[in-house]
Amino acid sequence: MSEYTATALARANIALAKYWGKSDVALNLPAVPSISITLEPMRTETTVRFAASLQQDALVLNGKPADEKALKRASKVLDQVRAIAKLDLKARVESANNFPTASGLASSASGFAALVAASWSAAGMARDNERWSALSRQASASAARSIYGGFVELPKGIPGDATLSAKPIAPPAHWDVRIVVAVANEGAKDVGSTEGMTLSERTSPYYRAWVDCSDALAAEVRAGILARDLVKVGEAMEQSTLAMHACMMASRPGLIYLQPATLAALATVKRLRKEGVQVYATMDAGPHVKALCHADDAERVAKALADTQLVLRTLTAHPGPDLEIRK
Binding residues vs ligand DP6 (CB under 6 A): 15, 18-20, 28, 34, 106, 108, 140-142, 193-194, 284-285
Instruction: For the CB of residue 199, give the shortest distance to ligand DP6 in the complex, in Å.
Output: 12
Instruction: For the CB of residue 140, give the shortest distance to ligand DP6 in the complex, in Å.
Output: 3
Instruction: For the CB of residue 51, give the shortest distance to ligand DP6 in the complex, in Å.
Output: 29
Structure letter (DSSP) for residue 171 = -
CA separation for the pair 155, 264 (Å, rounded): 33
CA separation for the pair 223, 267 (Å, rounded): 27
The rounded radius of gyration (Å) of the Cα atoms in the chain is 19
CA separation for the pair 161, 154 (Å, rounded): 13
Instruction: For the CB of residue 28, give the shortest distance to ligand DP6 in the complex, in Å.
Output: 5
User: Are residues 6 and 48 in contact, defined by beta-carbon separation less than 8 angstroms?
Assistant: yes
Comparing CB distances to ligand DP6, the nearer of 33 and 172 is 33
CA separation for the pair 309, 129 (Å, rounded): 42
How do strand 289-294 and strand 34-51 relate by DSSP bridges? Answer: unpaired
CA atoms within 13 A on the CB side of 49: 13
Comparing CB distances to ligand DP6, the nearer of 80 and 194 is 194
Instruction: For the CB of residue 18, give the shortest distance to ligand DP6 in the complex, in Å.
Output: 5
Instruction: For the CB of residue 176, give the shortest distance to ligand DP6 in the complex, in Å.
Output: 22
Comparing CB distances to ligand DP6, the nearer of 114 and 141 is 141
Structure letter (DSSP) for residue 103 = G
Comparing CB distances to ligand DP6, the nearer of 35 and 279 is 35
Instruction: For the CB of residue 166, give the shortest distance to ligand DP6 in the complex, in Å.
Output: 11
Comparing CB distances to ligand DP6, the nearer of 82 and 290 is 290
Instruction: For the CB of residue 290, give the shortest distance to ligand DP6 in the complex, in Å.
Output: 10
CA separation for the pair 229, 124 (Å, rounded): 42
Comparing CB distances to ligand DP6, the nearer of 112 and 175 is 112
Crossing angle (nearest 10°) for helices 107-122 and 68-85: 40
CA separation for the pair 321, 10 (Å, rounded): 9
3-state SS, residue 28: coil
Comparing CB distances to ligand DP6, the nearer of 7 and 38 is 38
Crossing angle (nearest 10°) for helices 230-249 and 207-226: 160
Comparing CB distances to ligand DP6, the nearer of 50 and 206 is 206
Comparing CB distances to ligand DP6, the nearer of 122 and 180 is 180
Alpha-helix runs per DSSP H in the chain: 68-85, 107-122, 129-139, 193-203, 207-226, 230-249, 260-274, 298-306
Instruction: For the CB of residue 106, give the shortest distance to ligand DP6 in the complex, in Å.
Output: 6
How do strand 90-97 and strand 58-61 relate by DSSP bridges? Answer: parallel
CA separation for the pair 206, 218 (Å, rounded): 18
